[in-house]
């Protein structure tokens, strides 16, 4: 870690799902300053929008619901923005389609 950038690593065997990051500051001059939380998803299968381990119609629906929405728009689902470019569009849809039917049961 250096400067203002900090990083962490998930264990290599972290299961798919939704995780919450909490940044508590227990000591030092900035104690208690950071109160923000952030949520991210870990998926084992590209195109698995809802992080349930498989790519199926539910993932397709989530992309469709957010289609053409940008980060900041009402209804934008960051999980449906599979390529993390700030918009849910055909490129995200292709990622679901490419892996449709894969994953566990």
Q: Footprint of Ca ion on this chain (CB under 5 A)?
A: 48, 50, 52, 59, 81, 83, 85, 92
Contact present, 76 and 88 (Cβ < 8 Å): yes
Q: Which is nearer to Ca ion, 33 or 85 (CB)?
A: 85
**Residue 18 C-beta: closest distance to Ca ion, Å:** 12
**Residue 10 C-beta: closest distance to Ca ion, Å:** 19
**Residue 24 C-beta: closest distance to Ca ion, Å:** 32
With a CB cutoff of 8 Å and minimum separation 6, the contacts of 16 are 41, 42, 43, 44, 45, 48, 51, 52, 53
Q: Which is nearer to Ca ion, 31 or 68 (CB)?
A: 68
Q: Which is nearer to Ca ion, 27 or 84 (CB)?
A: 84
Q: Write down how long the chain is.
A: 105
φ, ψ dihedrals at 22, nearest 5°: -125, 135
DSSP 73: S
């Amino acid at each position: 870690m250096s400067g203002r950038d900090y990083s962490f690593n998930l264990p290599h065997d972290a299961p798919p799902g939704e995780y919450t990051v909490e940044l508590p500051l227990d000591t030092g001059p900035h104690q208690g300053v950071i109160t923000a939380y952030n949520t991210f998803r870990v998926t084992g299968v590209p195109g698995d929008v809802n992080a349930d381990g498989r790519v199926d119609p539910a993932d397709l629906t989530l992309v469709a619901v957010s289609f053409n929405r940008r980060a900041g728009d009402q209804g934008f689902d960051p999980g449906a923005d599979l390529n993390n470019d700030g918009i849910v569009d055909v490129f995200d849809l292709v990622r679901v389609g490419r892996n449709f039917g894969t994953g566990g049961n």
